[in-house]
Structure formats: C-alpha cells, structure tokens
Amino acid sequence: MMQLLTPRKYLKVEVLLTEATRIINTLSRYFSYQTKRNQIGMPKIALNLSSEQLEALSKMFPDEPVEDVLVRIVNEFLSGRASKPESRADERSLRTLLDILNAYTGKIDELNRRVSQVVEILEGISSRLQNLEEQLRSTVQQPKQVEKREPRKSALDILKEQGVMFESDIASKIKNRDAFFERLKRGGAVVIALAKERVAVDPDFFTRFKDRVAKLSSSSDDILSRELEKSELRLLKALSSSGLAYFDSTRKRWVIEL
C-alpha cells in the first residue's frame, strides 16, 4: 500500500531542490558568460561551494564525482530535463522512512484497538455506576419499613395474664425452678408452697380469689364450678388438698389459712 510523505519529508526534498536549482542557475549564468568570452575550446569554470552544498550533492549522487554531477546537472537543465532532479539517496531514505512509518503505524493501530477496549470497559463501568446510583437514590427515598416487634413478655406479665401458675405446668420449660419462683416472689407475686409443688399467684388475682371464696356457703362441686373460674377452682382445690383451705360446716364458709 502506497504511503504518503509527511510534511517534514516534503520540506527536506523541497530544500534540496531549491539549492540544486540555485546552483544550476549560477552555473548556467556563469557558463553562458564564459562561452561568450571564449568561443574556442571547452571553457573551464571554477565554483566556490560551501561544505553544506558539497555534502548535499554527495548525498544526492553518492556514486558520481561532484565534477561529473555538476556537468550532468548543467546538461540536463539546459536540455529541459532537470526541472525536478531526483536523488537516489532520497529514494533510499524514503524507503527507510516508509518502513519505519509502517512499523509505527502497526503499533498505533494496536494502541488504538486497546484504547477502544479501555473506552468500552469504562463505558460499561459508568453505566453500572449510574444504575447503582439510581438504586441507592431509590432506597433513600423509600426507606424500609421497620417491623415492629412486640417486647418479650416477662414471667410476671404472663402470671398477671393467667392469674395463677403451678410448678407442674412449667416443669418441662424451666430448669432452675427455685430461681424462677424466687424471681416471681421478688416481683410481688404470692408464692405458696403446696404439699407436692409450688404455685405462684398474681397479687390482684389472689385478692379477688379470696373475696369470692369468702362469699361461698357450700362445698358442693356443682356450686363451686358455677361460682368460680377454672383457675380459681383449681387453686382452691390445691389449697384444700394441702390443708391450707377448708370448709367450716358450722359457719358455712371457706377458711384460707395463709
């Protein structure tokens, strides 16, 4: 594939052409002048060339003596063929330059390819960051609803709801029952030691229990079941079995000894 010369190379060639043309013009004028003065024999011309001019001619025509080069340039110029002299050295330089340019062109192509890959990766990262930013913005605008959890009920709270708590009912759930009942007692619960177990009673429940039992005038199971709640009836029977409550048949009333 034909490679184009760079502006810098064109400038170099143009300088050489300008210098050669100046030399040719000088030779032509001088030669014409000497020919008019001496029409007999081959005239001899002496030229004063600078070292830069001599070096330029040597590079342009490395295989010919400078004298022959000057004569050839004059002849070609006079015959109209030297309007654009070409240099073999410049041709070799051009080929070398083109080889170098080709090598660098390949590297530049590879660099462009890698830059394109980097740009593509950066665009992907930018897109992901934008999506993440939108998600974060959406999260901030719509805060998560915090689930409301009811506080864990304490043993005293459970006792207040139930009214009474027998040790046999919690034996499989509580390992250290002594500490459990002691904690209930410190919290204000009424702890009663029965014949076979302990029972904890909420103080408000126990007050109502004693008032309702005091109004009973019979020990009949039917009447007790009708007048008392299940928890109250169970507590009364437990107290009675342990000798802590009894029915006084003379006074027709229940007596609780606590």
pLDDT for res 57: 76
Q: How far is CA 8 from CA 43, 63, 72, in A?
A: 40, 26, 28
Q: Is residue 125 part of a domain?
A: no
Q: Which domain holds residue 164?
A: 155-256
Q: Is residue 92 part of a domain?
A: no
Which structure tokens are listed for 222? 């039917």
Q: Is residue 116 part of a domain?
A: no
Q: Is residue 23 part of a domain?
A: yes
Q: Is residue 192 part of a domain?
A: yes
Domain end: 37, 59, 86, which one? 86
| Calpha distance 212→231 (Å, rounded) | 13
- Per the structure, how many domains does the chain have? 2
Domain end: 30, 53, 86, which one? 86
Place of tokens 């909420």: 202
- Judged by phi (left if over 0) then psi (alpha if -120 to 50, else beta), residue 194 lies in beta
pLDDT for res 1: 45
CA dihedral (91, 92, 97, 100) positive or negative: positive
Q: Residue 185, CB half-sphere, CA atoms under 13 Å: how many? A: 11
pLDDT for res 126: 81
pLDDT for res 35: 52
| Calpha distance 153→237 (Å, rounded) | 29
| Calpha distance 117→109 (Å, rounded) | 12
Domain end: 69, 86, 103, which one? 86
| Calpha distance 241→199 (Å, rounded) | 13
Q: Is residue 68 part of a domain?
A: yes
- Give the number of other CB atoms < 10 A from CB of residue 200: 25
Per-residue pLDDT of the chain (258 residues; tens, 9 = 90+): 444 545 555 555 565 666 666 666 555 554 554 554 454 455 666 667 777 877 887 887 777 787 777 777 777 777 765 444 455 556 676 777 677 667 667 778 788 888 888 888 888 888 788 888 788 777 766 555 555 677 788 889 999 999 999 999 999 998 999 999 999 999 999 999 999 999 999 999 999 999 999 999 999 999 999 999 999 999 999 999 999 999 999 999 999 988
- Give the number of other CB atoms < 10 A from CB of residue 22: 11
pLDDT for res 133: 79
φ/ψ of 199, rounded to 5, equals: -140, 135
Place of tokens 């990262």: 125
Both 159 and 82 in one domain: the answer is no
pLDDT for res 135: 80
Q: Is residue 199 part of a domain?
A: yes
Q: Is residue 183 part of a domain?
A: yes
Tally of helices (H runs) and strands (E runs) in the chain: 10, 5
The predicted model scores a pTM of 0.43
